[in-house]
Structure 1
Amino acid sequence: MKKLYVVLALTAWTGLAAAAEVKVAVAANFTAPMQKIAADFEKDTGHKAIVSTGATGAFYAQIKNGAPFEVFLSADDETPARLEAEGAGVKGSRFTYAIGKLVLWSARPGYVDDKGEVLKRGDFAKLSIANPKTAPYGAAGVEVMKKLGVFDSLQPKVVQGENISQAFQFVSTGNAELGFVALSQVWQDGALKSGSAWVVPQADYSLIRQDAILLSNGAGKPAAEALLKYLKGEKAQAVIKSFGYDF
């Protein structure tokens, strides 16, 4: 019996020793699905994802300045490709984990019509977008306004968030009547969670291909490599799809 206890104790210790943490930089639009995925990842593998969320452009600068992230889930495909080319990302590790969708959203039911005509009417005080210089969803919002011919007229009404989370917060708190946000922030399990929205047609803005990459700090680290593998699995992909993303 004593020998059995020793075996069980060694097995438990081995399992704990194998578990590790991975530091992940995650684009703000992917906050909600990543919270769910991180919880599932820890439960299924024993590894823990330490998640930081923010704007893609800001993360690029932090990574280049030595931030200790091991995995980067970007809001675009250009930034991970750039990091890979510059030697800050592991070559061959980059892949598309989601294709994002842009939505014009208001916390008020019935306020945004299903064709976005509210933008042309312009009868609102504030329109929220993420900083287009650092956030791909903000840049997409600018594209849409230019295509609709309302960019110049709406400029005085635009309020910018540092990232898509802050842009969403401006609208959800009523500081802006409407705003361009990520569909994943207002959509779950096939339905709009609240308010009113226009899901912008893909033809109106550049494809938001969101890539993940193993950063140099994560090379050879089991938890980092396990997370990237987990993101490609059916369980994680089901979560991603439930928040309105494509692949």
Structure 2
Amino acid sequence: MKTRFLRALISVAIGFAATSAFAGEVQVAVAANFTAPVQAIAADFEKDTGNKVLASFGATGQFYAQIKNGAPFEVFLAADDTTPAKLEKEGMTVAGSRFTYATGALALWSAKDGYVDDKGEVLKKNQFTHIAIANPKAAPYGLAGYQTLDKLGLTDAIKPKVVEGQNISQTQQFVATGNAELGFVALSQIYKNGKITSGSAWLVPADLHDPIKQDVVILNKGKDNPVAKQFEDYLKGPKAAEIIKSFGYQL
């Protein structure tokens, strides 16, 4: 009996050691708007493959600067398609690895119920004190917010009331904490499974700003890491697609 028990223990230990030996990880830079989706995708990825995603979140423009300065990221999920394309031109990415993993949507949001109407008329009324918009040089959703104001002819009237977030997460926080009555955010930050999760919002029509195509690319630091390619391929799969769509993105 003892011998059998010892053999079983050794077998379990060997299996555990083998799993640990083959488990890998990948360093991923993720645009702040995609925080919740990638956390859910990473959890499924780890369950399905045993490999881990070590994600850092921030503004696309800031990540670009960090990558140029040698940051250890292996995969980059941007909030636009121009930044990964720029890195590709500069020879900092694995050839053929870039593709659009999601197309984002912009929302005008307030943490207060009923504050933002479903046509965005609250902007024209201009009775608020502050509106939050992400830095357009660093955050594509911030650029889309300013483009929306331009298209509506409201930039001059509203610009003095703008408080700028360094990224889209900080912008949402300005609104959530009441430092701004409303703000332009990524729909994914306030949307789950077909509905707005809190407050009130206007889904900004896509023709009021440039398309927010979000590209992923494997960086040169990830070219010899098989987990980088495995994770990028996972983004194209059905489980990831279901999660991405549940947060209001289009594929």
Q: Same fold (TM over 0.5)?
A: yes
Cα displacement (A) at 1:40: 1.4
What is the percent sequence identity of the aligned residues?
Answer: 61
- d(CA) in 2 for partners of 1:170, 1:195: 14
Counterpart of 2:184? 180
Counterpart of 1:223? 227
Per-residue displacement from partner, 1:16-49 (whole Å, max 9, x unpaired)?
Answer: 1111111110000001111111111111111111
Q: Which runs of 5+ in 2 are unaligned?
A: none
- d(CA) in 2 for partners of 1:16, 1:176: 48
Instruction: Trace 1:94-243 onto structure 2 (pairs within 5 A).
Output: 94-243=98-247
Amino acid at match of 1:92: G
Counterpart of 1:44? 48
Cα displacement (A) at 1:64: 0.4
Cα displacement (A) at 1:7: 5.1
Amino acid at match of 1:178: L
- d(CA) in 1 for partners of 2:40, 2:158: 36
Segment of structure 1 superposing worse, 74-83 or 222-231: 222-231
Cα displacement (A) at 1:214: 0.5
Counterpart of 1:246? 250
Query: 3-state DSSP class of the match of 1:184?
Result: helix
State whether residues 19 and 223 of structure 1, in contact with CA within 8 Å, keep that contact through their aligned partners in structure 2.
no
Query: 3-state DSSP class of the match of 2:83?
Result: helix
Per-residue displacement from partner, 1:214-233 (whole Å, max 9, x unpaired)?
Answer: 01011021221111111111
Cα displacement (A) at 1:84: 1.1
Q: Which runs of 5+ in 1 are unaligned?
A: none
Per-residue displacement from partner, 1:123-164 (whole Å, max 9, x unpaired)?
Answer: 000000000011000000000000000001111100000000
- d(CA) in 1 for partners of 2:178, 2:104: 24
Cα displacement (A) at 1:13: 2.1
Per-residue displacement from partner, 1:36-66 (whole Å, max 9, x unpaired)?
Answer: 1111111111111111000000000000000
Counterpart of 1:61? 65
Q: Which runs of structure 1 show a deviation greater than 4 angstroms over 4 or more consecutive aligned residues?
A: 1-8
- d(CA) in 2 for partners of 1:19, 1:99: 31
Query: 3-state DSSP class of the match of 2:133?
Result: strand
Counterpart of 1:13? 17
Structure whose alpha-carbon radius of gyration is higher = 2
Q: Does 1:74 align with 2:78?
A: yes
- d(CA) in 2 for partners of 1:4, 1:143: 65
Counterpart of 1:85? 89
Cα displacement (A) at 1:3: 6.2
Alignment size in residue pairs: 247
Q: What's the C-alpha RMSD, in Å, of the aligned pairs?
A: 1.2
Segment of structure 1 superposing worse, 6-15 or 67-76: 6-15
Equivalent residue for 1:26, pick from 25, 30, 54: 30
- d(CA) in 2 for partners of 1:64, 1:215: 11
Amino acid at match of 1:241: K
- d(CA) in 1 for partners of 2:78, 2:40: 17
- d(CA) in 1 for partners of 2:34, 2:27: 15
Amino acid at match of 1:150: L
- d(CA) in 2 for partners of 1:10, 1:172: 50
